[in-house]
Structure 1
Amino acid sequence: MRKPAPSWSDAAALAFANEFDPATVTTVCSILGNRRRQLAVLYLLTCDTDEWVSLANLARWITAVTTDSSLDAATGSDYHNIKESLRHTHLPTLADAGAITYDADRTRLTPSDTLPFLGRLLFHLLIVSTATDKDMT
């Protein structure tokens, strides 16, 4: 019988244990453990660090991706739910981790210099997760 594959967070901990302190590994896994934050990181990787992005545009893009719809059709309750969760939970989490600068009063954000680091880790975890999924079948 095959041993169960480690979860992606276990894989991350193993991959980065020698390179980073445990608190950093825990923080990164916590940040990247949420799909909306993962999508926010992916979207912001396409932006310059001096480019401000509106909360509405980010929420619309995440809504389109998660509902498999066009940007024009990314409206309604799904959009509102995603926008509010970004506003109150996910963007403050990314800002506290130093991944973005978040101007809550003006509902805009910009990627920080550390966001590409999170992006590289996210891509690595997605590759590890995909490889692990293939091993399980």
Structure 2
Amino acid sequence: MDDTLFTATEAVEDDLNTVFFILKAPRRRLTIRFIHRNGRCRLRELAKELTAIQMNTTPERVSNEEYRNVYNSLSQTHLPQLADANVITYNSDRQIVAPAVNIDVVYVMYRLAQLHAAQQLHQQQSPID
């Protein structure tokens, strides 16, 4: 096998592994969806919105404890991982999150996975002819 082809194949495998790792965590998926739809925002706003989604409520009704939990996990774990994969940019000093070069590709893969899951669920619920 050509070494160049082998190296390219390894690079694709690494990229796919990164995308699958990124999409594995629900909080990262919510972050990708929010940033893809809304663009640049402050970490505080992102944490409030994600907490509300996870708690099935409005941002105004989110408790401080729930908010702090999401805020801390975003700032300490999820945002740095998304930034390392060039899905977002994260300025921890200014607390700003923005889309980066890979957000569209990762968002498309996220949506494809959602559509596939919905199709599978529909097929399971449909009566057999």
Which runs of 5 or more residues in structure 2 are unaligned?
Answer: 1-8
Question: C-alpha displacement at 1:135, in angstroms?
Answer: 3.3
1:93 aligned partner? 81
Return the letter of the residue paired with 2:107. Answer: G
Conservation of the 8 A alpha-carbon contact between 1:54 and 1:107: yes
2:18 corresponds, among 10, 24, 27, to 27
> 1:70-124, CA deviations, whole angstroms, 9 ceiling, x for partnerless residues?
1111232111101100000000000000011111112111111321111111000
Query: Post-superposition, which runs of at least 4 consecutive aligned residues in structure 1 deviate over 6 A?
Result: none
The percentage of counterpart residues that share the same residue type is 26
For 1:134, the equivalent position in structure 2 comes to: 122
Q: Which has the higher helix share?
A: 2
| 1:43 corresponds to 2:59 | no
Q: Aligned with 1:98: secondary structure?
A: coil
What is the letter of the counterpart of residue 23 of structure 1?
Answer: D
More RCO (CA 8 Å, sep 6+): 1
SS at 1:105's partner residue?
A: coil
Q: Distance in 2 between matches of 1:92 and 1:83?
A: 13
Paired with 1:135 and 1:23, the residues of 2 have a C-alpha distance of 32
Among 57, 74, 85, the alignment partner of 2:62 is 74
In the alignment, is the contact (CA less than 8 A) between 1:45 and 1:115 conserved in 2?
A: yes
TM score, norm. by length of structure 2: 0.83
CA–CA separation in structure 1 for the residues paired with 2:109 and 2:13: 15
Asked if 1 retains the 8 angstrom alpha-carbon contact of 2:85 and 2:102, the reply is: no
> Counterpart of 2:51 in structure 1: which amino acid?
T
Match of 1:63 in 2: 51
Unaligned runs of 5+ in 1: 1-17
Task: Return the letter of the residue paired with 1:108.
Answer: I
Greater C-alpha radius of gyration: 2
- 8 Å contact 1:95–1:101 — kept in the other structure? yes
- Contact 1:47–1:111 (CA<8 Å) still a contact in 2? no
The alignment of Structure 1 onto Structure 2 pairs a total of residues equal to 116
